[in-house]
Amino acid sequence: MSNDFWAAVKNRRTVYGISKEAILSDERIQELIGEAVLHAPSAFNSQSARVIVLLNEQHDKLWNLTENILRGIVPAENFEPTAQKMAAFRNGYGTVLFFEDQTVIEGLQEQFAAYKDSFPIYSQHSSGMLQYIVWTALEAEGYGASLQHYAPLIDDQVAKEWNVPASWKLIAQMPFGKPTAPAGEKAFQPLDSRLKVYK
């Protein structure tokens, strides 16, 4: 178990080259992400994370609407790299949308006034941990993924298209699929400049 865990941690990388080829059943993907949602830590056990999983044509729809929104922002003469990026995401099998329920956060702010300013930060911590668990779990099953941040540009369209409750704040998007190319080389800064131990 320990070796499998560290293998997944070390192998988890940003992978842009992905395909629609299935590795797991849709039911298993739902189960995998559901387990992550259940067991990811959160401040005060607030469980503020919310997730929508888009598969098949729903996944394509997300990246089509994102591309359409970006076409209204990015100058046409500079759009080709963005179009290629959208196509790469669309080539994947699915996308995980990560949200945080602001009603939960506001409730904690009212209940624990001394921590009021910290709860939005704690919420981001919780979301980050969930994103990492999902990303690493997908890696362990043979998927490649990347983490994207097109909020708040796409928030209104996403909310309308998938009936997202008003209190859910979109944090990140994670397109995933079967890798078609390895991740690039990763350089590491010296560990002794990043880690200190005092005994």
| pLDDT greater than 80 at residue 47 | yes
Can you list the domains of the chain with their CATH numbers? Answer: 2-177 (3.40.109.10)
CA distance 34 to 37: 5
Percent of residues, the chain, with pLDDT higher than 70: 99
| pLDDT greater than 70 at residue 2 | no
| pLDDT greater than 80 at residue 104 | yes
Per-residue pLDDT tens for 152-176? 999 999 999 999 999 999 999 999 9
Mean pLDDT of 44-69: 97
What pLDDT is recorded for position 182?
Answer: 86
- pTM of the complete model: 0.95
What pLDDT is recorded for position 1?
Answer: 47
What pLDDT is recorded for position 5?
Answer: 86
Per-residue pLDDT tens for 19-34? 999 999 999 999 999 9
